Amino acid sequence: MYNIILLNEVDSTNNYANHLIMSEAAEEGTVVLTRYQKMGRGYATNAWESAAGKNLLASIIFYPHFLPAKDQFMLSKVVSLGLYDFASKETADVKIKWPNDLLVDNKKLAGILIENSVKGPNLESVVAGIGINLNQTVFLSDAPNPVSLKQFTGKEYDVQEVCKTVTERVFSWYEELRKGNYSKIDLAYINQLYRHEEWTLFKKGDDRFEARILGIGEFGQLITEDRSNRIRTFMFKEVEMIL
């Protein structure tokens, strides 16, 4: 069902997975796992910090030819839910922060970097890069509020075991997507959404405002209502939540 390629060191597992796709050398369910990334990538131009051998650094390859490109945020939900299933068995207070960060106790446990390619109206291939902080207890970069599972549970995690569990959980939600069970996925995602329906401080450029999250639009946009009952919709990274 899936196949894990373990690398000692690589620039970025997402880059490696993209090369496998380009050279038609990987089936769906191929997972690239590494101990260390020399150039781990976060969203936009951010780097992703991870000490060697401590954390999960992996990229999963999908060929979701059945999925219309306009529904690509569904796959982002699927991956977030897979990570949520794993983390919430280990510790309490796990939440999914829109669009796809995992928070525990308001701190960042995991990030996801999804890269898509589209062919005609549907998705052709997707690389879902996953970074979960497992055993690292000191973080050097200025990334906001990083935290690891070990800091909550005191346990030492076997990275390869976690990789298998997370991949299984992600593919279980992917099957729901393949079956077209959008509403089941939407409901699970909204139930775990960080600050859903709570008053929250947001930042958009120099503007700061209070709003509550009403829900997620059909293309994955954040739908909010502010103090003057104005409904505002935001695309990814157009707005930032102030934690």
Q: How many residues bind ligand BTN (CB under 6 A)?
A: 20
Contacts of 181 (CB under 8 A, 6+ apart): none
Binding of ligand BTN by 148 (CB under 6 A) = no
Smaller CB separation from ligand BTN, 58 or 185: 58
Binding of ligand BTN by 59 (CB under 6 A) = yes
Please tell me what DSSP assigns to residue 15.
H
Smaller CB separation from ligand BTN, 74 or 130: 130
Strands (E), 44-161: 56-62, 94-97, 101-104, 107-119, 122-132
Task: Give DSSP secondary structure letters for 130-153.
Answer: EEE--S-----S--SSB--HHHHH
- Candidate residues 64, 82, 99, 131; the one interacting with ligand BTN per rule CB under 6 A: 131
Binding of ligand BTN by 202 (CB under 6 A) = no
The length of the chain in residues reads 243
- Candidate residues 20, 21, 48, 149; the one interacting with ligand BTN per rule CB under 6 A: 48
Least gap, CB of 34 to ligand BTN (angstroms): 8
Smaller CB separation from ligand BTN, 64 or 131: 131
The secondary structure of the chain in percent helix, strand, coil, rounded to multiples of 5, reads: 30, 35, 35
Residues that bind ligand BTN (CB under 6 A): 12-14, 37, 40-43, 46, 48, 57-59, 101, 111-113, 129-131
